[in-house]
Chains A and B, each alone.
Chain A
Amino acid sequence: MKTTFSICFCLLLLTAIPAYGDIARPQPSPQTPRIVLHTSLTIVPDNKAYEARLQISQSSLQELRAALNDTNGNSIAGGIMRNSTRTMIAGVFMFLSLSFAGVWLARSMQTRGQKIVASLLLGTAVLGAATIIVQANAGPPSSFYWKKLSQNLSHGASTSGGIDIEIVADPTDGRGMKLIMPTRPD
């Protein structure tokens, strides 16, 4: 019995070693556009200029560099900045966590100092809830600000709004950059 078992074990070991080097690596999926940074853009009409100019602030450039350094666009900070829905859900859970922690502290600890800590935790939870409500009511989407772009351009006035910087696959027509403006009706 022991001999049979030993032989079976040796056979198993031998079959574990075969080379798997020839298995092809999976084909990468076609590159899809990915947003690397959300920032603001101001379009200023200038009747004295002969060439369109793109001005980037030093801090924005650094942010863009940091976003591009993350080759997969998966940095935690980037992910949080890009996704307000997930951040809000995370906030709700953090609020629940702090509330439960406060209640637990208040119920399980009796000294004055511990009660102060519990009160502070509950206070932080209330502040967190207030922040979630404020964030949820943060303001209209960017398309609202860009709505008046054509009107402002004709009057020579500037227009500001949010913008997503998106990295896309090289276009076939040789264009370098493209600015897509939202033109949603009221």
Chain B
Amino acid sequence: MERAAQLNPAAWPSEDSIPIVGRGRSTRLFASTLIACACLSALLAGWLPLQVSVITVFLFAGPHNWFELRYFLMRLPVRFGKSRNFFLVAFAGLGLLTLSYISLPVLNSFNLLPDRLWPYLLASWNTLMLLWIAALVWLRGKNKRARNWSAVYPIIFALCSLNWLAPEFFSLGIVYLHPLVALWFFDRHLARTRPGWLRIYRRCLCLLPILLLLMLWQLGQTAALPDDNGLFWRITQQSGAQLLPNVSSRLLVGTHVFLEMLHYGVWLVALPLIAPLANDQASKQPVPRAIWKVRSVPVARHPRGFPKLITTALALGAFVVFLLWLGFSTDYATTRDIYFTVAIAHVLAEAPFLLRML
């Protein structure tokens, strides 16, 4: 029942739908686009890290969240069925963890807690997040018994342990690793929709550590970025300049901006354009669908679906993106702070949906 309500994988475009003559050319085009985008992102991020950070966050932060929301809605089953507990834990954890994360800077601004307790608070939040992921893995494992998920628990407990040793560094790790989750989403998506591109995509991923090493080599010994104004200081702090005083802040900001650009690229360009989710049921061919058409979302299209709810969610999301642009235009620094605090929700939301794709 649940599976019938979900997306029909057979309707997704397969490698067979692409003519044999065009396969090699399309794969080469795909690979060269990936390499060009990655190299250009690294170049820009290393050359003008602060300026590129300001512009990319201004332009792409809000829209990429809207695209993520739309993608998650497309992955949502009409009826939860056996996955009811999974989704209940996912949404409850998402809400509680987001609220508690947002309350941390509020507590800080009112000086409600002494400084020495902050590492404990941070470590506790990180532990709760890891245990929430462990619970999701357990529930997913119950539904998908063919796969052995028990190897995840020792890793999660080891991460909890490292988190308690250095909670600030663990949080910084999330800042740098979160952009890479988008690449994992893209990998899983290609495996389902364009399996022929998967091998070349994974080969292209090998370029990532090479680019990061090149950035380390080029920027490792450079002078620190000027952080004498509030905005630039915030950007360097977010990249961990305070935690890693012996590492060049240009390298830190450049690396973070590079990873963020890849993240935005996957959500804004790669996933919506290269691998469309929905196909025409009759012809089994990929049909270009306008992203703003609500009927392209299965939960809205299904006879037992929720078209009004999905329309409201997407419209509200678009309104928030507009508000974000307005906020960035009037007070960039404050809006950036608020955005990166609230954006923890999308970081957390990726966990359950990625688990559903594994």
Task: Check if A91 is an interface residue, CB within 8 A of chain B.
Answer: yes
A16 to chain B, nearest CB (A): 4
Task: Check if B218 is an interface residue, CB within 8 A of chain A.
Answer: no
Task: Check if B146 is an interface residue, CB within 8 A of chain A.
Answer: no
Residue from B148, B151, B154, B156 whose CB has the most chain A CB atoms within 10 Å: B154
Interchain CB contact under 8 A, A17 and B55: yes
Interchain CB contact under 8 A, B164 and A89: yes
Question: How far, in whole Å, are A103 and B157 apart by their CA atoms in the complex?
Answer: 14
List the A side residues contacting B151 at CB < 8 Å.
104, 108
List the A side residues contacting B164 at CB < 8 Å.
86-87, 89-90, 93
Question: How far, in whole Å, are A21 and B230 apart by their CA atoms in the complex?
Answer: 8
Interchain CB contact under 8 A, B229 and A22: yes
List the A side residues contacting B161 at CB < 8 Å.
90-94, 97
List the B side residues contacting A89 at CB < 8 Å.
123, 164
Which stretch in B77-85, B267-275, B325-333 binds the other chain? B325-333
Task: Check if A50 is an interface residue, CB within 8 A of chain B.
Answer: no
Question: How far, in whole Å, are A74 and B240 apart by their CA atoms in the complex?
Answer: 12
Identify which of B148, B155, B160, B228 contacts A25 (C-beta below 8 A). B228
Interchain CB contact under 8 A, B233 and A25: yes
Identify which of B154, B163, B169 contacts A76 (C-beta below 8 A). B169
Task: Check if A71 is an interface residue, CB within 8 A of chain B.
Answer: yes
For chain A, the count of residues having a C-beta within 8 Å of the partner chain is 40
Interchain CB contact under 8 A, A100 and B154: yes
Question: What 0/1 pattern do residues 24 to 43 of A give for CB contact below 8 A with B?
Answer: 11100000100000000000
Interchain CB contact under 8 A, B119 and A97: no
Interchain CB contact under 8 A, A108 and B150: yes
Question: What 0/1 pattern do residues 136 to 177 of B give for CB contact below 8 A with A?
Answer: 000000000000101101111110111111111100000000
Task: Check if A23 is an interface residue, CB within 8 A of chain B.
Answer: yes
Identify which of B119, B150, B155, B229 contacts A83 (C-beta below 8 A). B119
Task: Check if A107 is an interface residue, CB within 8 A of chain B.
Answer: yes
Task: Check if A13 is an interface residue, CB within 8 A of chain B.
Answer: yes
A86 to chain B, nearest CB (A): 5
Q: A23-B229, A86-B120 are in contact. Are A16 and B328 (CB under 8 A)?
A: yes
Interchain CB contact under 8 A, A107 and B166: no
CB closest residue in chain A, given B157: A97
Task: Check if B19 is an interface residue, CB within 8 A of chain A.
Answer: no
Task: Check if A79 is an interface residue, CB within 8 A of chain B.
Answer: yes
Question: How far, in whole Å, are A63 and B169 apart by their CA atoms in the complex?
Answer: 22
A113 to chain B, nearest CB (A): 18
What are 30 A-B pairs with beta-carbon distances under 8 A?
Answer: A13-B59, A15-B325, A16-B54, A16-B58, A16-B328, A20-B332, A20-B333, A23-B231, A24-B229, A24-B230, A25-B230, A25-B233, A32-B115, A70-B245, A72-B243, A72-B245, A79-B119, A80-B165, A80-B166, A90-B165, A93-B158, A93-B161, A94-B158, A97-B155, A98-B154, A100-B150, A100-B153, A100-B154, A103-B150, A104-B154
Q: List 19 other contacts, CB 8 Å, given A16-B54, A18-B329.
A: A17-B55, A20-B332, A20-B333, A24-B229, A26-B233, A72-B245, A76-B165, A76-B166, A85-B120, A86-B119, A86-B123, A96-B157, A97-B157, A98-B154, A100-B150, A100-B153, A103-B150, A104-B150, A104-B154
Residues of B in contact with A (beta carbons under 8 Å apart): 54-55, 58-59, 115, 119-120, 123, 127, 148, 150-151, 153-158, 160-169, 227-231, 233, 242-243, 245, 325, 328-329, 332-333
